[in-house]
Amino acid sequence: MARPEQVLLLEPQHELKFRGPFSDVVTTNLKLSNPTDRNVCFKVKTTAPRRYCVRPNSGIIDAGTSINVSVMLQPFEYDPNEKSKHKFMVQSMLAPPDMTDMEGVWKEAKPEELMDSKLRCVFEMPTENEKTVKLFIISFLPNCVAVTTSIIPPKT
C-alpha cells in the first residue's frame, strides 16, 4: 500500500533558508499547520543532527492549529563553493484517539500510517549592499539589564 499524502501544511514547503554570517547560530522557522479535524503527531529528522538544534523536534499539533518549529544551525566555517546536502524530513501520523505514550505510538506505527515531507537546506550570505548593522541597546533598570536588538538597513 502506498504512503498517504502529508496532511500537515509546511511553510516553507521545500527548502529551509539560512542567511549568514555563520559564525553565530542562525535560526530559521518552519510553520507546521494541521488543517484536519484530527490531532497529528509529528517529528522532525535531519541528515546532519550534530549541525542543527530543532525545537520542538516532536509533538502533537491539535486539529485546526499550527506550531512554529525553530531550526538552529550551529556555527561553522562557511565555504561558498560547497553545496549544502543537508535535508530535513517532517514525519507525521494521525494521533490515535487513545494515545497516552508518544514514543510508543511511533514504535507501533505501521509504515502505511506514516506521512512525510522533505526539505533541503540552502545557505545564503548577504551581499555587500544587503548587509545590515545590528545595534544593541542596553538599558539598566533596577535589578535587571535589558538588551534590545534593532536592525538598521543600509542607506540607499
32 located within any domain: yes
| pLDDT for residue 128 | 66
Question: Is residue 155 in some structural domain?
Answer: no
Q: Is the pTM of this model over 0.75?
A: yes
Full domain range(s) for residue 87: 9-124
| Residue 129 in domain | no
How is residue 103 annotated by DSSP? H
Q: Is residue 149 part of a domain?
A: no
* CATH code assigned at 60: 2.60.40.10
Question: Residue 112 has what pLDDT?
Answer: 93
As to burial, measured by CB atoms within 10 angstroms (0-12 exposed, 13-18 middle, 19+ buried), residue 42 is buried
Tell me, yes or no, whether 29 lies in a domain: yes
Instruction: Give me the number of domains the chain comprises.
Output: 1
Percentage of the chain modeled with pLDDT above 70: 80
> Using the 8-state DSSP alphabet, how is residue 154 labeled?
P
Give the pLDDT confidence of 79-131 residue by residue, as tens digits. Answer: 888 888 999 999 999 999 888 888 889 999 999 999 999 999 999 988 766 55
Condensed to tens digits (0 to 9), the pLDDT of residues 6-26 reads 999 999 999 999 999 999 999
**Under 8 Å between Cβ of 154 and 147:** no
